[in-house]
């Protein structure tokens, strides 16, 4: 990813989309500064250099507090420079004043996604060279050595999906401990795989629509219809069915409808207006 695409100017108008929505995909660092504060200019330069060096591992959003006073007030900025870290739609850490230069990469490394390791890179290369078995073997061996590293089973599942081995991918991820299955990178894949498996075994769309019209409370038919809509790239219709199912039977299959909505929204561009709209609906389900 080009460095220029990782550095943005934040405003009251674009902050929620640029920071909160993007933080659901990775780390976003917001630098609050002002041109008349010398140390903030120094911090801004260091962070910009790091954004170029890290080449996409975090998004840097620069907020001029002279021009964006409402944002400074919203996030309680009382001293400059300050920077705040956002992940999964929430602020996870904040720092006030210029930090020792060596501390900036350490702080970012603590929260940013790790770069692709040699094993994953080798597996990807094997897959691209037409040897999926070798790719899966490399990842399986690494997963045994590092059972807490979810990148390996996640990549294995993606390779199996590309081979249309949906049942094998589901079996692989379903065998992980529950605490791992609830992690975002795994739960999203599980929801996606469940959609694919459900759509493959579902009746024709017209039949499902007729059945749901006759019996709107049928949770299984509603879920199958959502899966078929997704399979046919009818994203909004799939989201609507999942939203309705979440309202009608929130406990259906351990909340699969809500998990499915989250997985679908994570697939969309954060700038897509459906992302903000349906995330609000998800939020309302909690209250």
DSSP 131-169: -HHHHHHHHHHHHHH-TT-THHHHHHHHHHHHTT-HHHH
pLDDT tens digit string along 34-52? 999 989 999 999 999 888 8
CATH class of the domain whose range is 118-285: mainly alpha
Beta-carbon contacts of residue 151 (< 8 Å; ≥ 6 apart): 114, 117, 120, 185
Which of 23-37, 100-114, 203-217 has the weakest average pLDDT? 100-114
Q: What is the mean pLDDT of the chain?
A: 88
Q: Which CATH class is domain 3-111?
A: alpha beta
Orientation of helix 219-231 relative to helix 235-248, angle to 10°: 160
Residue 22 pLDDT: 87
For residues 228-254, average pLDDT: 92
User: Nearest Cα to 29, choosing from 5, 11, 3, 48?
Assistant: 48
Share of the chain above pLDDT 90, in %: 52
pTM: 0.54
Q: pLDDT per residue over 208-222, tens digit each?
A: 999 999 999 999 999
**Strand order of the sheet with strand 58-64?**
7-9, 58-64, 27-33, 82-87, 90-96
| Cα angle for residues 115, 48, 27 (degrees, 5° grid) | 45
By the 10 Å C-beta count (0-12 exposed, 13-18 middle, 19+ buried), 251 is classed as exposed
- Strongest mean pLDDT among 119-133, 175-189, 231-245: 231-245
Quick check: 69 pLDDT over 90? yes
Domain range summary for the chain, segments of one domain joined by +: 3-111, 118-285
């Amino acid at each position: 990813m080009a460095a220029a695409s990782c550095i943005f100017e934040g405003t009251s108008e674009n902050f929620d989309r640029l920071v909160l929505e993007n933080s659901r995909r990775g780390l976003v660092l917001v630098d609050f500064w002002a041109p008349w504060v010398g140390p903030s200019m120094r911090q801004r330069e260091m962070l910009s250099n790091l954004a170029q060096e890290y080449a996409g591992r975090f998004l840097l959003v620069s907020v001029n507090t002279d021009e964006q006073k409402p944002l400074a007030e919203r996030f309680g900025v009382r001293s400059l420079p300050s920077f705040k870290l956002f992940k999964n739609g929430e602020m996870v850490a904040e720092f006030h004043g210029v930090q020792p230069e060596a501390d900036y990469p350490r702080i970012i490394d603590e929260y940013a996604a790790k770069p692709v390791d040699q094993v994953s890179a080798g597996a990807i290369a094997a897959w691209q060279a037409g040897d999926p078995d070798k790719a899966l073997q490399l990842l399986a061996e690494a997963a045994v050595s590092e059972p807490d590293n979810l990148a390996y089973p996640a990549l294995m599942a993606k390779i199996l999906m590309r081979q249309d081995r949906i049942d094998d991918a589901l079996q692989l991820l379903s065998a992980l401990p529950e605490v791992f299955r609830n992690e975002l990178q795994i739960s999203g894949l599980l929801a996606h795989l469940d959609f694919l498996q459900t759509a493959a075994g579902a009746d024709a769309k017209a039949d499902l629509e007729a059945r749901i019209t006759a019996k709107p409370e049928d949770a299984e038919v509603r879920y199958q219809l959502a899966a078929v809509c997704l399979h046919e790239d009818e994203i909004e219709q799939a989201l609507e069915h999942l939203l309705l199912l979440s309202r009608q039977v929130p406990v259906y299959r351990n909340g699969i409808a809500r998990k499915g909505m989250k997985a679908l929204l994570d697939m969309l561009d954060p700038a897509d207006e459906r992302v903000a709209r349906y995330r609000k609906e998800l939020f309302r389900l909690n209250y």
